[in-house]
A and B are shown apart, each in its own frame.
Chain A
Amino acid sequence: TQLLEQSPQFLSIQEGENLTVYCNSSSVFSSLQWYRQEPGEGPVLLVTVVTGGEVKKLKRLTFQFGDARKDSSLHITAAQPGDTGLYLCAGEFGGSQGNLIFGKGTKLSVKP
């Protein structure tokens, strides 16, 4: 059974600070996706990474996929209150196309 572990579980920071959240698995991902979810809403896709070592940037968000494709990180620069939400990583593993395994998420709160 593939499991994703996300850390930290909760993060509360002040506006303007930088932060990094992590997603780890003991299995190799065929692809990994990051989502953000706000209360009462469904997750919204931020990025998909496929290639080991891949780095993708989305404005102030930087996503990195580990060389061995077993881990990923999300770095936010100069966090803003609008970044508040639940950040979920979700992986697809070989032979399980369509079956996204989600972590429990990192709940981020950015205070003005």
Chain B
Amino acid sequence: DAGVTQSPTHLIKTRGQQVTLRCSPKSGHDTVSWYQQALGQGPQFIFQYYEEEERQRGNFPDRFSGHQFPNYSSELNVNALLLGDSALYLCASSADTYYGYTFGSGTRLTVV
């Protein structure tokens, strides 16, 4: 059973560009959350999607947006990239948060 799949694994973008990251949740999971993890830090919550709607949002600017599709997969879009957006972007899925989240291996985004 495949866990959470994220693509691409690595990405290099130029400041000011836009990027789209993709996530396929674990089979049977309907909730997808996105996190940003800077080097040496714990993951920070960006937002969560459930039933194709944004259910919760962390303290991130509107440049960060997302989408969830009917098959529960999700995209994270970041516009007008800044150097400070360089980080590991993690996708996590769950069916019931009581049982915790399954994380993907992440997308390493470097903004130059």
Q: Chain A residues in contact with chain B, CB under 8 A?
A: 4, 31, 33, 35, 40-45, 48, 50, 88, 90, 92, 96-105
Cα distance A42–B44 when bound, in Å? 13
Instruction: State which of B43, B50, B101 has its C-beta within 8 Å of the C-beta of A45.
Output: B101
Q: Which residues does chain A contribute within 8 Å of B100, judged by CB atoms?
A: 33, 45, 48
Instruction: State which of A4, A42, A92 has its C-beta within 8 Å of the C-beta of B97.
Output: A92
Q: Which residues does chain A contribute within 8 Å of B99, judged by CB atoms?
A: 48
Contacts A98-B48, A99-B56; A104 near B97 (Cβ below 8 A): no
Q: Is B4 an interface residue (CB 8 A)?
A: yes
Q: Which of A42, A90, A92, A96 has the most CB of B within 10 A?
A: A42
Q: Which residues does chain B contribute within 8 Å of A104, judged by CB atoms?
A: 40-42
Return B66 CB to nearest CB of chain A, in Å: 13
Q: Among B13-21, B68-76, B78-86, B103-111, which stretch is in contact with chain A?
A: B103-111
Q: Which residues does chain A contribute within 8 Å of B55, judged by CB atoms?
A: 98
Return A1 CB to nearest CB of chain B, in Å: 9
Return A11 CB to nearest CB of chain B, in Å: 15
Q: Chain B residues in contact with chain A, CB under 8 A?
A: 4, 31, 33, 35, 40-45, 48, 50, 55-56, 58, 90, 92, 97-106
Cα distance A90–B41 when bound, in Å? 13
Whether the Cβ atoms of A100 and B45 lie closer than 8 Å is yes
Instruction: State which of A31, A98, A103, A105 has its C-beta within 8 Å of the C-beta of B33.
Output: A98
Whether the Cβ atoms of B97 and A97 lie closer than 8 Å is yes
Q: Which of A4, A90, A99, A104 has the most CB of B within 10 A?
A: A99
Knowing that A43-B43, A45-B102, A100-B101 touch, tell me 20 more A-B residue pairs with CB under 8 angstroms.
Answer: A31-B97, A33-B100, A40-B106, A42-B103, A45-B103, A48-B100, A92-B97, A98-B31, A98-B50, A98-B56, A98-B97, A99-B45, A99-B56, A100-B33, A100-B35, A100-B45, A100-B92, A101-B45, A102-B43, A105-B42
The 4 closest A-B pairs by CB, nearest first: A42-B103, A102-B42, A45-B100, A98-B48
A–B complex contacts, Cβ < 8 Å, 7 sampled: A33-B100, A42-B92, A45-B103, A92-B97, A99-B56, A102-B42, A102-B44
